[in-house]
Amino acid sequence: MTIPASFDAFRIHDDADGYRGGVEQVSIDDLSAGEIVVKVAFSSVNFKDALAGTGKGRILREFPLVGGIDVAGHVVSSTDPRFREGDEVLVTGSGLGETRDGGYAQYARLESKWAVPLPIGLSLRESMILGTAGFTAALALLRMQENRQSPSLGPLAVTGATGGVGSLAIDIFSRAGYAVHAVSGKPEHAGYLKSIGAREVLGRDALATKRPLESVRFGGGLDNVGGPMLASLLAQTRPYGNVASAGLAASADLPASVMPFIIRGVSLLGVASAGTARDIRDEVWRLLASDWKPRHLDRICTRETTLAGLHTVFEGMLGGGSVGRTLVTFP
């Protein structure tokens, strides 16, 4: 396949004219170096993408850069013999949209060491409804289960439940056999949360305690919020349960006590998806395409956009107005 001389990309600048991002024409030689070139079929919108695209978070390490931390598509050229023209591949994180050009372009040049052959059981579209959000949720569960989490310990709480990571975590955890309690400040979306697998939907007041220990309520959970809610979740977790920390939508602080750790043996596990080792990355995607594949991907994908609509999506996400996942499509 011939790569066109120029094509559309959502590129972000920070120079004498200020911080800005928008659709412009680029060439393949404008992009970061890599062994494979992919004709992009889909990308997605994550909180980090919204921060980078608007300048409300200092995500990018260099400029100009094409945004988008997720990408999936077909290989059109490769200098790595492991990949051939026509192969379906995906990449999430791995420096995309941060230190190297990302997925918000009609063509992407990628480092082959991070390219994952599309697993059997997933379409390219499904892989990007999952994207970094689904990968993060599944990585959290993998870490918890490696530390002996099991459904017998009790329900898993998911904070920030209507967001991308939260929504996919509900579906993934439920698919893996856990009862899931969704914690959300958006009661109008309780029906949506139950429709994707939540056993119960709790308001934020369920995690409003400031006491170092509370009565046991959860077997563990995934926190996307940080701050007092994470501290409260730890205080209500069953002995030897696990809480995975994957976000800071409310706060980067953790006003917690050591009491859950030294009295109940609760474990706090960090989840950093961007730099996950390749063997773990492959295992997570294998699970997402098989045993842990969410049942409600089409329901969780609440919106589709083109590159031209990204600004609107970014503002809505940063304003707390988004639910589920937004898929980026390409002509």
State the CB neighbour count (10 A cutoff) for residue 15: 9
pLDDT of residue 179: 98
pLDDT of residue 254: 93
Q: How far apart are the first and last CA of the chain?
A: 16
Q: For each of the domains in the chain, give its residue range(s) and CATH number, in order of start.
A: 7-118+300-329 (3.90.180.10), 132-270 (3.40.50.720)
Per-10-residue mean pLDDT of the chain, 331 residues long, equals 94 94 97 98 96 90 95 98 97 94 98 96 98 98 98 98 97 98 96 98 92 96 96 98 93 93 98 91 97 98 98 93 95 84
**Cis peptide before 64, with omega less than 30 degrees from 0?**
yes
Q: How many CA atoms lie within 13 A of 123 on its CB side?
A: 7
pLDDT of residue 59: 86
pLDDT of residue 95: 93
Q: Tokens 């420096």 sit at which residue?
A: 95
pLDDT of residue 261: 98
| Confidence (pTM) | 0.96
Which helix (H) or strand (E) segment holds residue 281: the answer is: helix 278-288
Q: Which of 207, 197, 199 minimizes the C-alpha distance to 159?
A: 207
